[in-house]
Structure 1
Amino acid sequence: MTEATDAPFGGLTLVIDSATEACSVALFDGDRLVAGEFRMLGRGHAEALVPMIAALPDRGRAPRIVAALGPGSFTGVRVGLAAARALALAWGSEIAGYSTLAMVAAIARDQAGNVPVGVAMTGGHGEWFIEGFAGDGNVARPLVSLRPEAAAASAIETVIAGTQAEALVTARGSGTALPVWPDARAFPLLPAAALTSDTRPLYGRAPDARLPGGLPAPGN
């Protein structure tokens, strides 16, 4: 990922994370949490997200907006990014993004003591999104989407975090599972290198829809 400019940031930051079944928003002044909310929605992010932002002080208005890029739910990723881009345009705000798995790893490292963390999150078609992070939070193993048995075989870290952490540790037969969900309120735990000014969605796997001839459909 390309590191976002002007980090660390001393002003107000609105953080939006709706890439998974969880949905969360947070408003920070520097690294101080001003207000935030976390909900386990499953579905309905499009209906819930804007009211959650509007409930923040000054309706969440901030000169910087940061959104989760995925991977996760195709719909959830797009809902969060659409809201971030619309607000950035309306307010003239800077916009940046971060990987959902990087956020999960940051929360897990905070709980486990800055050790290497493998992240296993629910993907599509029965696969899991897998990525490894070093003790400093930087990527140690690249993001891939694998069947559960292959994911368990590839995970080398003792600590595994995410929605499929318990299943992976059970399948592997060893390790510590931290069933962590991404949470916008944990934004200050992210390393600076996790932020990127490239806010294209991070889907983590090839698109399902294809045009005649095998080309990916646009927008997937």
Structure 2
Amino acid sequence: MRQLAIETATEACSVALFEDGRLVSHVHELVGRGHAERLVPMIGELPGRGRADRILVDCGPGSFTGVRVGLAAARALALAWGAEIAGYSSLALIAATAFMELDGPETLSVAIVGGHGEYFVQRFDRQGVRPIAPLASLKPEEAALLCASDPVAGSGAEAMRTAGAPGRTVAIHPDARNTALLPPRLAMLPPSPIYGRAPDARLPG
């Protein structure tokens, strides 16, 4: 079975093609806000233009636009190819990557840039990359308190240190090829956005 993994939730944009669990090809770039322009050409660079039986896509949290770009592409390709589609969390992917890179810690925190000066933050346990705190969107000082003494991974790691988190920091961007590190239950989320915070626009009350 072929699986195409799509990652567009943060500054990174990447795609990876797997055949029976083996990485066949991948492309990874830091594009900032250029996901809409780069994603489809990236998929086209993969063998067979990335065609797969299953598509795995990052549902967020992260950039509102990036998340929507990835989900829209995944849904369109799943329809065109008759493929299965499932989602995963950007924070879980960063946690799985960080646990692979770090020796020792049984827990860690992931922090990535959110919106309005806030950071998306969540704590994980090494065993099964299990979330041990709810996803939160917090100002730096509050987010740093949530991180406790954990190592902190993600694009917001240095900001957590500046705000007072004492743990070591690891600057990790999510990469589609590392979706192979996710436990199966974390790669079977509904393909729907995880925004991580309430919408800015509200209906008149």
- TM tier, smaller: over 0.9
Q: 2:123 aligns with which of 103, 126, 132?
A: 132
Tell me which amino acid in the other structure corresponds to 2:168.
T
Give per-residue Cα distances to partners, 1:85-138, cap 9 Å, x unaligned: 000000000000000000110110000136311001000000000101001201
Shift in Å, 1:47: 1.0
Q: Quote the RMSD (CA, aligned, Å).
A: 1.2
Query: Normalised by the size of structure 2, how large is the TM-score?
Result: 0.95
Query: Normalised by the size of structure 1, how large is the TM-score?
Result: 0.89
Shift in Å, 1:201: 0.2
Q: 1:62-211 to 2 correspondence within 5 Å?
A: 62-113=52-103, 115-136=106-127, 137-172=129-164, 174-211=166-203
**CA distance in 2: counterparts of 1:141 and 1:31, whole angstroms:** 30
Shift in Å, 1:173: 5.0
**CA distance in 1: counterparts of 2:91 and 2:33, whole angstroms:** 20
Gaps of 5+ in 2: none
**CA distance in 2: counterparts of 1:150 and 1:23, whole angstroms:** 29
Which residue number in structure 2 is paired with residue 60 of structure 1? 50
Give per-residue Cα distances to partners, 1:166-220, cap 9 Å, x unaligned: 221232252110010000011111112212241110000000011211xxxxxxx
CA contact (8 A) 2:145 2:165 kept: no
Structure 1 window deviating more from structure 2 (36-45 vs 167-176): it is: 167-176
CA contact (8 A) 1:159 1:175 kept: yes
SS at structure 1 position matched to 2:4: strand
**CA distance in 2: counterparts of 1:37 and 1:176, whole angstroms:** 29
Which residue number in structure 2 is paired with residue 17 of structure 1? 7
CA contact (8 A) 1:132 1:157 kept: no
**CA distance in 1: counterparts of 2:185 and 2:98, whole angstroms:** 17
Identity score, percent: 55
Return closer, same or farther for 1:50/1:138 CA change in 2, 3 Å cut-off.
same
Post-superposition, which runs of at least 4 consecutive aligned residues in structure 1 deviate over 6 A?
none
